[in-house]
Amino acid sequence: MERLFKHVCLVARHSKPAIVTSLLQLANHLANAGATVLIDKDSASPQEAGEHPLIDRNDMGKLADLVIVLGGDGTMLSIARLLAPYRVPLIGINQGRLGFMTDIPLHEMLDSVDAIMMGEFLPEDRILLQASLVREDAEIAKALAFNDVVFSRGSMGSMVEFEVFIDNQFVYSQRSDGLIVATPTGSTAYSLASGGPILHPTLQAIALVPICPQSLSNRPIVVNDSCEVEFMLTRGLDARVHFDGQSHCDLMEMDRVLIRRYRNPLRILHPVGYNYYDMLRHKLHWGERLL
């Protein structure tokens, strides 16, 4: 049977030299099976990569048919934002603790990747968010988020005040430590820690979760992902907006941030037999079946 993916890029988590051994094992395994293997230049040195070309991760979407991440969910988040414009699928190999997105354990890496390369996988499309920062009617920044867009108070420590609109309709004003606008993927991250709901990753929805609101009546709400969410900062010194916790922009009073679903979903490939609820049960230490 012909393999589906001919050009495969491998990415490993930074600052984890031990992962390079697993990365090179997988690279050689794929190359021996006939695939062209590319390696992210920040994941291995030229000496370690050997015959496998090193590429800039910003070029992955243009050069690869498939990207495999060895590491944790943080690495998956950064790669997901780069791949979304190109519709290149992503696989996560877990390197230690059970991750919400890196679901293939290291000891099953070779067998699972072989099966996926032959077309035996469960595809899952997940939404991303696109955010635009508008100041005095001019867009001054924009970014993608796979997990969440988070508005937070700054180092001054005081609460921020803001207004929220959905599809140009006023929803509420709020005084709090901030607001999380999360995708279903991000619903098990900061949103969950702040009391937000767990959303199945295939849902077409966006969750708005307050961070320590002054009024206890301010509760999380979930809206359709076709909606445009607008955040307007009315009062707050040193406030910021964060994208997946990996980049941020400073906010000024009366700044507006417009958030909508990004045009392309990200496709994650799971091994056959993957079960989202098994993952949740293990990660969150839920009870096992009694019978």
Could you read off the pLDDT of 227-277 as tens digits, one per residue?
A: 999 999 999 988 999 999 999 999 999 999 999 999 999 999 999 999 999
Q: What pLDDT does 31 receive?
A: 96
SS3 per residue for the chain: CCCCCCEEEEEECCCCHHHHHHHHHHHHHHHHCCCEEEEECCCCCHHHHCCCCEECHHHHHHHCCEEEEEECHHHHHHHHHHHHHHCCCEEEEECCCCCCCCCEEHHHHHHHHHHHHCCCEEEEEECCEEEEEEECCEEEEEEEECCEEEEECCCCCCCEEEEEEECCEEEEEEEECEEEEECCHHHHCHHHHCCCCCCCCCCCEEEEEEECCCCCCCCCEEEECCCCEEEEEEECCCCEEEECCCEEEECCCCCEEEEEECCCCEEEEEECCCCHHHHHHHHHCCCCCCC
In the residue annotation, 73 being an active-site residue is answered as yes
Please tell me which residue in 40, 73, 103, 148 is annotated as part of the active site.
Answer: 73
CATH number for the domain formed by residue range(s) 7-127+265-284:
3.40.50.10330
CATH number for the domain formed by residue range(s) 129-261:
2.60.200.30
User: Would you list the domain boundaries of the chain?
Assistant: 7-127+265-284, 129-261
**pLDDT tens column, 185-240:** 999 999 999 999 999 999 999 999 999 999 989 999 999 999 999 999 999 988 99
pTM, entire model? 0.94
